[in-house]
Amino acid sequence: MHDSIGIKLEKIDDYRWRIPKSAKPGMRVPGIIYADEKLLKDVLKDKAIEQVANVAFLPGIVNASLAMPDIHWGYGFPIGGVAATDIENNGVVSPGGVGFDINCGVRMLKTSLTFDDIKDKVKDLVYRLLSDVPSGVGSKGDIRVSHKEEREIFINGAKWAVEQGYGIKEDLECTEEFGAIEGADPQAVSERAYERGKAQSGTLGSGNHFIEIQVIDQLYNRDVCDELGLDLGQITIMIHSGSRGLGYQVCEDYTRSMVNCLNKYQINVPDRQLSCAPVKSFEGHAYLGAMKCAANYAWANRQCLMHLTRLSFSKVMGVSWQKLGMYLIYDVAHNIAKIEKYNIDGEEKKLCVHRKGATRAFGPDNPALPERYKKIGQPVIIPGDMGRNSYLLVGTKKAEQETFGSTCHGAGRVKSRTEATRTINVDYLLKELESKGIIVKASGRKTLVEEAPSAYKDVNEVVDVVHNAGISKRVCRMRPLGVIKG
């Protein structure tokens, strides 16, 4: 099977395809794409396959340039791309391998509510969330911070929010990196990025960011569900947001400046959007320091959003969020670069793992996990689109061995926002969602069209691939009841 520019794909098995190292002169490793034959047809429609091959040019890249089944065309790296570089072997870090919305991620809350408890109040909850949670392009929230406080957020992440009363300590235990990754360097963040972030704490943002009220409609692993306190008919909530204008500005600053590193460090890549620098260089260190600031800002932001969500539910239901059982299951990033250790050819190596539109999926007993999840593995949260299911999975040891502990992050687009706007009727879309019992509100009608279910792959098919490939395992499935979009 070939892509649009003639790159030949070799079938490894029903869920993996290889781009041979010979596909483009200069590839240091092969590419591996996780997809079945049906999903591969969508992958072949854009230039994402070529981007997987291009990533294989990066200095220090280990094993393979990887792509998850929700892969689609992105900036430099494809969205859904994973690549790890060997830090001690001139391994590089590339801002294009993280993306513009640094630490865009998702968190999932459980509740003690059932569908019967809220079926007549979903509309009230959606309107309350829309009223209480600032959303949309350039939205600003009530949680304003000074320059000094913003620096504290950069260092302490979600811990800052909890210390301000926006949550409890238990929330931090249920957050990747416990809500703050070490090594953030506020001095590496530009003044423009500071300004863009200052008024956006506790805001949802635009595009595919959302808060979704869901009900569990399918259980796949009863033991893990019991461990997590989940059952059929139970209400859950997902919050999807990132680092807002701050993260965008950090990425823009460093993608522009790192182009100069290609000549300086004699790095040969086929696309300037793959600008990069050795991890052990001034430029690489500076980018990682700034990226970690944006990542911590995003964890603080989602913590604040969860606080506002808890308050909204409390107002509508007339009791405290604690009595509603609104506790965090997990929060995981899907646009980030992390320094992690892996066994490569019998030797432990420190790698820079880029996950762009990919979710960490560590298996049981991984030392990075809190004690409560050592037995079952890391919760993996995969949102769908506003008209189809979302999933909770757990990570696996196989993911740690094959994909640097990574899996998919969502459904993945099949239509650009421009194409969606041109081809989808918003009134018909709203009627279709309403007929499914889904109440949707957004800051603008344009957002609804851009984020229509038909603009995305079917998340059920995407999750089937990662489950059957063994890089994460299904726990339960949720369907949407009410959604607010940015």
Task: Name beta bridge partners: 331.
Answer: 107, 175
φ/ψ (deg, to 5) at 226: -65, -40
Is position 23 within any domain?
Answer: yes
- Which is catalytic among the residues 72, 307, 409, 467? 409
Question: Element (H or E) spanning 40, and its range?
Answer: helix 37-43
Predicted local confidence at residue 1, as pLDDT: 54
Give the alpha-carbon dihedral of 32, 35, 39, 40, to 10 degrees.
30
CA neighbor of 208 nearest in space, from 437, 461, 420, 425: 420
Q: Which pLDDT score, from 0 to 100, does residue 422 have?
A: 79
3-class SS at 180?
coil
Per-residue pLDDT, 425: 78
Residue 400: exposure state from Cβ atoms within 10 A (0-12, 13-18, ≥19): buried
* Average of per-residue pLDDT across 307-319: 96
The lowest-confidence range among 6-15, 97-106, 429-438 is 429-438
Does residue 1 sit within a domain? no
Report yes or no on 146 lying in a domain.
Answer: yes
Q: What is the pLDDT of residue 440?
A: 86
Identify the pLDDT of residue 203: 59
Provide CB contacts within 8 A for 362, sequence distance 6+: 368, 369, 377, 378, 395, 399, 400, 405
State the residue range of the domain holding 140: 10-485
pLDDT in tens, 168-183: 999 999 999 999 999 9
Compute the average pLDDT of residues 261-282.
97
**Domains: count for the chain:** 1
Q: What is the mean pLDDT of the chain?
A: 91
Question: Is residue 4 situated within a structural domain?
Answer: no
Nearest-angstrom CA–CA distance, 221 and 184: 38
Residue 478 in any domain: the answer is yes
DSSP string, 190-230: -HHHHHHHHT-TT---STT-EEEEEEEEEES-HHHHHHHT-
Q: What is the pLDDT of residues 362-399, one digit of tens each?
A: 999 999 999 999 999 999 999 987 778 999 999 999 99
- Spatial distance between the Cα atoms of 407 and 70, rounded to a whole number of angstroms: 10
Confidence class of residue 2 from pLDDT cuts 50, 70 and 90?
low
Average pLDDT over residues 143-149: 69
Q: Would residue 354 show up in a list of annotated catalytic residues for this protein?
A: no
> What is the reported pLDDT for 137?
39
- Of 2, 1, 65, nearest to 34 by C-alpha is 65
Q: Which residue is associated with the tokens 């391994």?
A: 91
Q: What is the spatial distance between Cα 166 and Cα 279, in angstroms, rounded to a whole number?
A: 35
**pLDDT class of 446 with cuts at 50, 70, 90:** confident
* Position 414 pLDDT exceeds 80: no
Q: Is the pLDDT of residue 437 over 90?
A: no
For residue 136, name the pLDDT band (cuts at 50, 70, 90): very low
Q: 252 in a domain, yes or no?
A: yes
Predicted model pTM? 0.93
| Domain CATH code at residue 392 | 3.90.1860.10
In a domain, 2, yes or no: no
- Residue type (1 letter), 42: D
Assess if residue 294 is contained within a domain: yes
